[in-house]
Amino acid sequence: MEQPAYQAALKSAAQMLSRSDAELDKLMTPDRIIQADIAVQLDGGETVFFPALRVQHNSARGPYKGGIRFHSQVDVDEVKILASLMTWKCAVVDIPFGGAKGGVKVDPKKLSQLELERLTRGYVQAFVKHIGPNQDVPAPDINTNEQTMAWMMDEYSRIKGHQMHDFVTGKPIALFGSKGRELATSLGGKFILDLMIEHFKITKRPIQVAIQGIGNVGGGLAKLLGLDPRYKLVAISDSQGGIYRPTGLEVAEVFEHKKTTGSLAGFHYSHDITNAELLELDVDVLIPAALEDQITADNADHVKAKLILELANNPITASGDAILNNRGIPVVPDILANAGGVTVSYFEWAQNRQGWYWEEGEVNGRLQKSMLAAGQKVIKISEEKKVSLRVAAFLLSLERVDQAMHLRGKLVGHN
Ligand code: GLU
């Protein structure tokens, strides 16, 4: 696995803030890694074990927080990176959580709904001692959704013997999830995109955008761009490949085509492209919104976009990031660009604890305020210190996490 971009940025930020190697080491190491094999009885009666884990990175600023993914590629090193990103992400947007991430090594497409339900309940049973509304609050991530969260909430409440809505976020509205949560990562990303377009004075209209990924996050942003005449979506992909039309894709028709044919390929008046080709298109804005490690030393030289917005977690490796920096292509880092999801997760948790629910306009208004406050701070630091947006975001979040650790007496030895 290549070094992720965030580790290089965290090191630079730590050096600029004169942090010792011992402190940096502490900040890079998770507090706890919990692993279990989850036994699931398949519909045919056979029992299969699925390796599962939860990595709790840092809780200096509040309960651990982060999603749980179901994916055949899940491994401990990857989940450690993702857990750490959650710590820095929550600190950038200044919400009272630490960072965690969980995963189950499974191809969920191979399981029935009942098998998935048993696996999800098994996850809660395996980790129940370590998770909870004041301890560690799970949420959806890749291949998990509001139904997964509903099962988790139900299982946790069953074990504890009373109703605990605040145990997970990203629940269905009917089970007191938050209005606006489903679209929150995409909407938060759109607020940051608008801010960056203005900051980098990209005056061309319409702005051509390519999105890698049409899941909840990438697909949500595609729909938002379709409503804003300043932007034109020219390319989008799913895990099998993508489509490209330089004059623009009709967003609603793309979704209809995928729904009826099960694929993006063959969409009218567009070219079929691979995911690798999408990353190298001549567009104004490139938005990786799928998996990790998409832009590396192998392809960063071929990226033609003028701005990159990381809606996925960890889509660019350290060597890819260094090349983009040298080429002067600004990258809006994941810990800022995709923080809208966890921000509204915080609103959901707060609403659950109060038992008092907000209208969607209030949720979105508060989200906008949080995202813009964080985005403007990151821009200011990057201009003042003459560093990339990624290093600026780490300077901001590192100071916040570090301060919390010092005040708690958990980190010593810097001036
Ligand atoms: N999985 C999402 C992320 O990576 C959301 C996490 C959450 O809401 O806790 O940011």
* For the chain, domain boundaries: 32-165, 184-337
**How much distance in Å is there from the Cα of 8 to the middle of ligand 1?**
22
| Model confidence band, residue 415 (pLDDT cutoffs 50, 70, 90) | very low
Instruction: Determine which one of 65, 101, 232, 377 is catalytic.
Output: 101
Using the mean position of ligand 1's atoms as its centre, give its distance from the Cα of residue 124 in Å. Answer: 18
Which ligand 1 atom is at minimum distance from the Cα of 141?
1
Q: In this prediction, what percent of the chain has a pLDDT beyond 90? A: 97
**Atom of ligand 1 minimally distant from the CA of 142:** 1
For ligand 1, the distance from its centroid to the CA atom of residue 203, given in whole angstroms, is: 32
412 confidence band (pLDDT: 50, 70, 90) = low
User: Ligand 1 centre and the CA of 316: distance in Å?
Assistant: 18
Please tell me the distance between residue 357's alpha carbon and the centre of ligand 1 in angstroms: 21
Q: Which atom of ligand 1 is nearest to the CA of 69?
A: 1
User: For 253-292, how does the pLDDT look when each residue is reduced to its tens digit (9 = 90+)?
Assistant: 999 999 999 999 999 999 999 999 999 999 999 999 998 9
Active site residue 101: yes
32-165 shares its CATH topology with 184-337: yes
> For atom 9 of ligand 1, which residue has the closest CA?
66
Atom from ligand 1 closest to the CA of residue 140 = 1
Among 141, 146, 311, the mutation site with the greatest number of ligand 1 atoms within 8 A of its Cβ is 141
Contacts of 198 (CB under 8 A, 6+ apart): none
Distance 68 CA to ligand 1 centre (A): 8
* Residue range 120-126: mean pLDDT, rounded: 98
* pLDDT for res 413: 55
Cross-strand partners of 257:
none
- The pLDDT, as a whole number, for residue 152 is 98
pLDDT digits (tens, 9 = 90+) for 5-23: 999 999 999 999 999 999 8
Fold of 32-165: Rossmann fold (3.40.50)
Most informative mutation of 342, 344, 352 for ligand 1 (most atoms within 8 A of CB)? 342
Residue 213: exposed, middle, or buried by beta-carbon count in 10 A (0-12, 13-18, 19+)? buried
* pLDDT, tens digit, 9 for 90 and up, residues 44-95: 999 999 999 999 999 999 999 999 999 999 999 999 999 999 999 999 999 9
Predicted pLDDT at 1: 75
Average pLDDT over residues 281-310: 97
Return the residue whose CA atom lies nearest to atom 8 of ligand 1.
342
Give the residue among 311, 335, 342, 313 at the shortest CA–CA distance from 388. 335
Residues with CB under 6 A from ligand 1: 65-67, 139, 141, 169, 313, 338, 341-342, 345
Please state the pTM of the whole predicted model.
0.97
Ligand 1 nearest atom to the CA of residue 170, by list position: 8
For 124-181, the pLDDT digits (tens) are: 999 999 999 999 999 999 999 999 999 999 999 999 999 999 999 999 999 999 999 9
CATH architecture of 184-337: 3-Layer(aba) Sandwich (3.40)
Q: Per residue in 191-201, pLDDT tens?
A: 999 999 999 99
